Structure 1
Amino acid sequence: MPRTKAALTNGKRSINNRGAITKQKPKARPTRKPSAASPQEEYSMKHWPSESSLYFKDCAVWDEKKLVGNVKSIAFNYEFDIREYGHQFQLHTNNESLIKGSQHLDAIVAAGPEFCRSICQFNCGDSESGRGSSLSDAAVSRLTAACPNLVHIDMDSARDLTGAALLAICRNCPNIEFISIDGNDKCQGHIGGTALDTLRADKKLAKELRVLHLVDQSSSLDKAVKALSKARKKLEITVGDTDKWGDGTIDKYLGGKMDVLGGCGFGGFGGFGGLGAW
């Protein structure tokens, strides 16, 4: 809350002092105790109407011809086995070989700059089934470079992604507000503290970022998370581990402080929306 300015004194009043005229000193401004900082407004996720959104329930409904128009949001349902490479098998002298097939992220990129620049939100993956684990840093880098207007990206069970993917999002999407990259309860992700140290050191990088969700990642994140939270006090950082039996512990950092949410039944935790306590 800005302080109310004290009334200014005009300094024109004077008193007689042994025949000389001396200007009266202006009154000192009253001292006020600084007002308590107002609580930070909770981040509100953005939503787009259905007519400007694409939703793929499973691979059976996947159709690259739908990647046209002014689409704001693309979401792949938990049943959709999103991959960097589709899997197709062919027998060669009784040996199976992997042939490069459908590339879901690259199909979006191939839709062209006009389509890609309209996209603001991207969601994929599922922590229970493990769908989403086939994504790579390179694919995420290509997607975000083609879609610079992304403000929200949520990739669940993306256990193969590293800090390179996180930094690619931050560098390619200057207006990004929400990033969620999670592993799953069976296999941790590979995002380490180096990427968080970069975000801490360069505050111009992803300066609009309000939510960073890195659950089921490396336990070595603790030190880097604390330092980043102190440097970016408006950034909500969520880390921790989920557990299929509901014994996981989720830690939330904000303004350099930590709130611990533990043993609250995070089994089958599915992305940021699973934190109902927020």
Structure 2
Amino acid sequence: MSTREHPLGISFEFFPPNTDAGREKLKGVRDTLAERRPRFFSVTYGAGGSTQARTFETVKSVRQCGIDTAPHLSCIGSDKGELRERLESFREAGITNLVALRGDLPSGMGGMGELRYANELVEFIRKETGDHFQIAVAAYPEVHPQAPSYEHDLQNFVRKMQAGADLAITQYFFSADAYFHFLERARALGVEAPIVPGIMPISNYTKLARFSDACGADIPRWIRKQLEAYGDDSESIQAFGEEVVSNLCQRLLDGGAPGLHFYTLNQATPALRVLDNLRCDS
């Protein structure tokens, strides 16, 4: 996505801060990670577009460092008119990359919106804007938590790619085998676009367990038990997490993964420690 690319093809994801202190902190994180010349940054989008304004403002702030930045755009809870306005705002701001998602309907929100699935959103973006945007979509090597089966979820993924997506970014996982199996199945169904592994650094076990339970990402028993054994020893948790995630990333790269997309939680250090452990000749 960017001409200033790290040799490993890395990218980083942020969420929109909701305080002045958080916004100032993110500027420092942005500048630190920009030194690694990532392909792009991305900025998340709340359920039902609940952080829509903050997402756009965060994207504009993050882009000031010169790295291409992709806003997340979800279709749940929005009509076509609203989506059309957002796309036009993105174009006027010079944004050329998007992460297109179905999104989640927040509690208390009524309608699902005119577009119910991510493949419909990708089709809509292509119809409205042609090839202006490079579109990334989500992939779930361990199956979307709401999918009735692996096969059903895989077919949903293929539909998103066939609708016009340029690449996919996976939900985070800790089993390289899950990624390689998903990649093999997707390729067999005709998907040729890059499928980039999503990486979650481990620095806080409580938060990791909560996120993983919510999004359906599996923490292998041996990892979970070791993290539980460290209790409140944050230094040991971080050291063990760094080793686990570094080994995972190296295996992915050795196996031909086209890059790594880090879910930073607006922190630079955990991702950088992993990157510093990797061989760049993969």
TM-score range, shorter chain: 0.3 to 0.5
Q: Which has the higher helix share?
A: 2
Q: Which has the higher strand share?
A: 1
Give the number of the structure with larger relative contact order, counting CA–CA contacts within 8 Å between residues 6 or more apart: 2
TM-score for the superposition, normalised by structure 2:
0.36
